[in-house]
Structure 1
Amino acid sequence: MTTTTTTAEDLFPTRLPTPTDFITRSQPAVWGSEGDGPFTASELEAHDRRGYTVLDDFITSDDVALYSGELDRLAADPALKDDPRMIAERTTGTVRSVFEIEKLSSVLEALARDPKVLDRARQIVGSEVYLHQTRINYMPSFTGTGFYWHSDFETWHAEDGMPVPRAVSLSIALTDNYPFNGGLMVMPGSHRTFVPAVGETPDNNHEQSLQAQEAGVPSHVAITAMADEYGIDQFTGAAGSALWFDSNIMHGSGNNITPYARSNVFMVFNSVDNALVDPFAAKSPRPGHIANRDFTPLG
């Protein structure tokens, strides 16, 4: 196990008393090259420019059935009912997310180490990686609530102590993603711009933010400016498709009022050279099941 707690220069000040200018990011979105993994040079160039990549048929239908079975098992496990890794919808009490899935499922732990996953993660961040965060997201039919516009890196920097955006997220669809059932929206190219948030981080903010994020979200003015500059794309595709996206890309999802549930496996790969330090804008780090502080490289 490799862990550390230190400090580092704050290159992305956030959770400030008053609004400030956006920060232009100097770090690349792609740190590796074509020779480092499965992505081609053109795919890497597109990912660096847009901040995301969609791969259709990333896993097979048999894999979808296997991982969906794990999803159903975890959601129904009575032992997890009062476990902090189980997050319920605020209004309905239904399961919203299950965190640290690699510790709860050997099947999903193996997925994180699968070469088609791990080699791409290493290629994008240009180094060995570890799992910063994993979860299953559930978007049930009729009652599933969305995720407001945000940059993951803003939260991971402020509350977890991630120094720079040298991390990449993978979302694998376990159900068909339509334009109308709460599919993820992204602003292509927005990963180049860091939007500082206004307001202090509440104590134990994770206890509320995982149900509905309020601290660290951009203002309506900021969202409008970003959308005007970058536009909005949406991740749609059949079960088995995958979305790789930069840690700083602005993204969100709407509610699902359709009869068609949406669920996905979500894994975040952070560079071992970008290990967490003390939080930059919170009194204490979030729990390890939300922000892993074991930086041992995945093998």
Structure 2
Amino acid sequence: MTLSDYGLIDRYRTRTVAGTPPFDRDDPTVWGPIDSHGLAEFDDNGYAVLDMLLDADEVRAVATEMQDLTSDPELLLDERVIIERASHRVRSVFDVHRLSPMIGELVRQDRIAGLARQILGSDVYLHQARVNYMPGFTGAGFYWHSDFETWHAEDGMPAPRAVSLSIAMTDNYPFNGSLMVMPGSHRTFVPCQGETPADHHRVSLREQRIGVPSQEALTDLAGKHGITQFTGPAGSALLFDSNLMHGSTGNITPFPRSNLFLVFNSVENTLRDPYSTPDPRPEYLASRDFTPLS
């Protein structure tokens, strides 16, 4: 069977009326040769921490771009800007590589996109790009989830041959809502119960209730793998597998947290029709421009 056949067979069935038990994925994590300790560690854990991927000047430049975006009153009316349900503050801005030429240039650099090519063993394209904000005192968290579960169900991504890169734009402390992950959980696919409503993204981007694992599945995964947390100064980054179970708590501290979030997908794993919804999500959430990043 080739990857092109995967679009015709749903090997990761989810969003079912009746609950389906978790199962081991049969796709690799590292699709190229595992020729270094770092790749072996990524294969085992499903993630890697990158110290100072961006230097202080680059962090300031990206942060300034992000501030300009959220200060643009016209952009605040754009559907690519997601507003917190409770605080009415900006939660996420999507399509930032198109809204900001500087960020668009940054994501193409080999030290950024090259990380994804090394893991995925192929050319890659940008499936999604956004900035996430978690303001002090009011920032809401993201419940436990596998990104691939959503991208498969709602975008038509056939296999978990994608990686995410979360670059810290502020210092990530253990107490200001930094990302929690379950090391090794990427090897288990957790189907989610419940049919996907129409235009689900309009609700889920603010608070996701469909496409989240059961408490029983999360308890089992946490018991097997434990939970660790990504912390580090601005400029550090977390590279992680698309099926890694992760989430974050809210931020009740005075210290805001923000990150630049990039999703790279293999050009050999391009999107089909969604597996669990009648219509695909908008282009800014799931790009269907599969042109490889140069």
Please name the residue that 2:230 is paired with. 235
Q: Aligned ranges for residues 51-200 of structure 1 at < 5 Å?
A: 51-200=46-195
Cα deviation, residue 17, structure 1:
1.2
Identity of aligned residues (%): 57
Q: TM-score, normalised by structure 1?
A: 0.95
Structure 1 stretches of at least 4 aligned residues deviating more than 3 Å after TM superposition:
none
Assess if the C-alpha contact under 8 Å between 2:7 and 2:158 holds in 1. Answer: no
Cα deviation, residue 63, structure 1:
0.5
Distance 1:146 1:13 in 2: 27
Q: Residue 248 in 1 paired to residue 271 in 2?
A: no
- Structure 1 stretches of 5 or more lacking a match? 1-5, 35-39
- Secondary structure of the corresponding residue to residue 291 of structure 2: coil
Cα deviation, residue 32, structure 1:
1.7
Please name the residue that 1:282 is paired with. 277
Distance 2:219 2:19 in 1: 15
The one-letter code matched in structure 2 to 1:180 is F
- Secondary structure of the corresponding residue to residue 265 of structure 1: strand
CA RMSD of aligned residues (A): 1.2
Equivalent residue for 2:43, pick from 48, 62, 68: 48
Cα deviation, residue 7, structure 1:
4.3
- Structure 2 stretches of 5 or more lacking a match? 1-5
The one-letter code matched in structure 1 to 2:239 is W
Offset from partner CA, 1:185-215 (integer Å, 9 cap, x none): 0000000000000000011000000001111
Distance 2:95 2:264 in 1: 13
- Secondary structure of the corresponding residue to residue 27 of structure 2: coil
Q: Residue 11 in 1 paired to residue 6 in 2?
A: no
Assess if the C-alpha contact under 8 Å between 1:12 and 1:23 holds in 2. Answer: no
The one-letter code matched in structure 2 to 1:230 is H
Cα deviation, residue 21, structure 1:
1.8
Distance 2:69 2:187 in 1: 36
Cα deviation, residue 290, structure 1:
0.5
Distance 1:150 1:7 in 2: 23
Please name the residue that 1:3 is paired with. none
- Secondary structure of the corresponding residue to residue 274 of structure 1: coil
The one-letter code matched in structure 2 to 1:215 is I
Assess if the C-alpha contact under 8 Å between 1:19 and 1:198 holds in 2. Answer: yes
The one-letter code matched in structure 1 to 2:30 is V
Equivalent pairs, count: 290
Distance 1:169 1:144 in 2: 22
Q: TM-score, normalised by structure 2?
A: 0.97
